[in-house]
Amino acid sequence: MILSPLRLVRTWAFRVVAVYAGLFGVSVAMLLGFIYVTTVGFIDRQINATIIAEINGLSDRYRETGLAGLTEAIAERIAQDRVGDAIYLLTDTDYQPVAGNLPAWPTDVERQGRWATFQVLLSDDEDASGYEVRAMSFLLSEGYHLLVGRNLREREGFEGLIEQSLVWSVLITLALGMVGGMVMSRDMRQRLEAINRTTKRIMQGDLHERIPVGGSGDEFDRLSGNLNEMLVQIDRLMVGMREVSDNIAHDLRSPLNRLKSRLEVTLLAATAPDQYRAALEQAVVETDQILATFNALLSIAQAEAGSGRDHLVTLDFAALARDAVELYEAVAEARGIAFTSDIPAEALVRGNRQLLFQALANLLDNAIKFSPDGSRVAVEVAVADGEAAFSVTDSGPGIPADDRARVVQRFVRLEQSRSTPGNGLGLSLVTAVMTLHGGRLALGDGAPGLRATLILPLVETEAVDQRRATATT
């Protein structure tokens, strides 16, 4: 897809590349500037040294051989300088040229031992082209003036070269940056488009769509991978929710239908107030059951969806167990069932207080419900290997080993339990709560009854000690 320039400029990739190209251009300019300054400095020093050496040589010659020798030497040097960069001028006391390759003593040039830079025009016209000269003047004995210089053509050439390189390299850097930006932003856009297209299809309802993963393991692949995992998770939760709502609908439909037909029959058939009263009492009992089922299913769904995970706090599991035992002792007493409990002073776990209490209560409820009158129920909390284990052992019929995996599923009740009230949801809730807490439910043999155990990871004591220390300071 081709982007309009405006939209291209608004892409993130383009902006990044533009910034980089700018930075790169600036650094190229700085580098060339540095090269320029150091090289020009070097060239200048070279030129100065050559000029000084020449002046020394020529003045020696003058001292040894006089004016004739000097004139000869100047002529020789001009002849030898094939490039034509050497400038010499020897004048008499009135600055009238005696020898050399400059037509006249340049104005503004001092006489003695001073550096000068001046322009030499190639003709007398005002706008004639010329060249720049760097020179030093020297006063010889008997009033002769000697000027030795160098044409700065080479240096100017170098300056021009650097200027050109600067312009070109900045232009090339910017152009490459722009092209790179377009390519990058196109590539990125295409990949984001792929993600967008898939999310659109998902929004239209197809949760089974997955975002394509390139396989290079780059950021986009990781993003796509994470989004795909999220989709799997959402899909799983949706299936779970659907299952729960199906189950609720399924399990509530028959008692609701029963309730409705009972009420209809009462309306048609009943004549005496007693009959109405009996029908209403029965209706209340059935409504209670429906509500209990409904609440249990909701709790399971919430625990499975992990909604209690945000409310995990460090709590004393032992104290929670004592509270639960106390609550159920009264119920047990009515059936002549005695509790024995062995619970340590403290067992810290991270958990949701309400959900954990519900789990404990469900196990105690089962133990009492399935135990014969007058029997014993043993409750124990053991702490070992970084885990807290809450176990309830009763002397009821127990659960055959083959059925132990099955009874934790929703609505599963064993044939032997037909006569006891219940929905078959208690152990499902316990399992969901344990999964939420990173723990597990173990069903074992309590000989003769059932031994049901909740196992939870303990909070590391150092962390707790630290937290306490900071809380008290």
Q: Using CA atoms, how far apart are residues 274 and 227, in angstroms rounded to an integer?
A: 63
H or E segment to which residue 131 belongs: strand 130-139
Between 114 and 143, how does the x/- string for binding to ligand ATP read (CB under 6 A)?
------------------------------
366 touching Mg ion, by CB under 5 A: yes
**x-or-dash string of contact with ligand ATP, 278-307, rule CB under 6 A:** ------------------x-----------
| Encoded tokens for 16 | 């990044």
Which residue, 74 or 425, is less far from ligand ATP as judged by CB? 425
Binding part of the chain for ligand ATP, among 79-87, 103-111, 162-170, 422-430 by CB under 6 A, reads: 422-430
Rounded distance, CA 430 to CA 300, Å?
Answer: 8
Return the range that interacts with Mg ion (CB under 5 A); candidates 45-53, 196-204, 279-287, 420-428.
Answer: 420-428
Distance, CA of 229 to CA of 232 (rounded, Å):
5
> Is the distance from CB of 223 to CB of 206 less than 8 angstroms?
no
Binding track, positions 430-469, relative to ligand ATP; x by CB under 6 A: --------------------x-------------------
Closest contact distance (angstroms) between CB of 452 and ligand ATP is 6
Starting at the edge strand that comes first in sequence, how are the strands of the sheet with 130-139 ordered? 97-100, 86-91, 145-151, 130-139, 115-121
Give 450's strand partners. Answer: 445
Cβ at position 364, least distance to ligand ATP in Å: 10
Indicate the residue among 145 and 404 with the shorter CB distance to Mg ion: 404
- Residue 359 near residue 454 (C-beta atoms within 8 A): yes
In 400-464, which ranges are E strands? 440-446, 449-457
**251/181 Cα distance (integer angstroms):** 61
Which residues neighbour 313 within 8 Å (Cβ) at sequence distance 6 or greater? 350, 351, 352, 353
Binding-site size for Mg ion (CB under 5 A) equals 2
C-alpha–C-alpha distance, residues 38 and 55, integer Å: 26
Give the nearer residue to Mg ion in terms of CB position, either 339 or 370.
Answer: 370
Under the binding rule (CB under 6 A), the answer on residue 422 touching ligand ATP is: yes
417 binds ligand ATP (CB under 6 A): yes
407 binds, among ligand ATP, Mg ion, none (CB under 5 to 8 A by kind): ligand ATP
* 426 lines the binding site for ligand ATP (CB under 6 A): yes
- CB of 411: closest distance to ligand ATP in angstroms? 8
CB of residue 247 to ligand ATP, shortest distance in Å: 13
Interactions with ligand ATP, residue window 353-412 (CB under 6 A): 362, 366-367, 370, 394, 396-399, 407, 412
Q: Which residues does 427 contact at the CB level (< 8 Å), separation at least 6?
A: 362, 366, 407, 408, 441
- How far apart are CB 425 and Mg ion at their closest, in Å? 7
Give me the least distance between CB of 328 and ligand ATP, in Å please: 13
| DSSP conformation letters of 165-180 | HHHHHHHHHHHHHHHH
Degrees to nearest 5, angle at CA 240 with 238 and 245: 95
Residues 6+ apart with CB under 8 A from 325: 339, 341, 343, 364, 379
Closest CB 249 distance from ligand ATP, rounded Å: 18
- Binding interface with Mg ion (CB under 5 A): 366, 426
- Binding interface with ligand ATP (CB under 6 A): 296, 362, 366-367, 370, 394, 396-399, 407, 412-414, 417, 422-428, 450
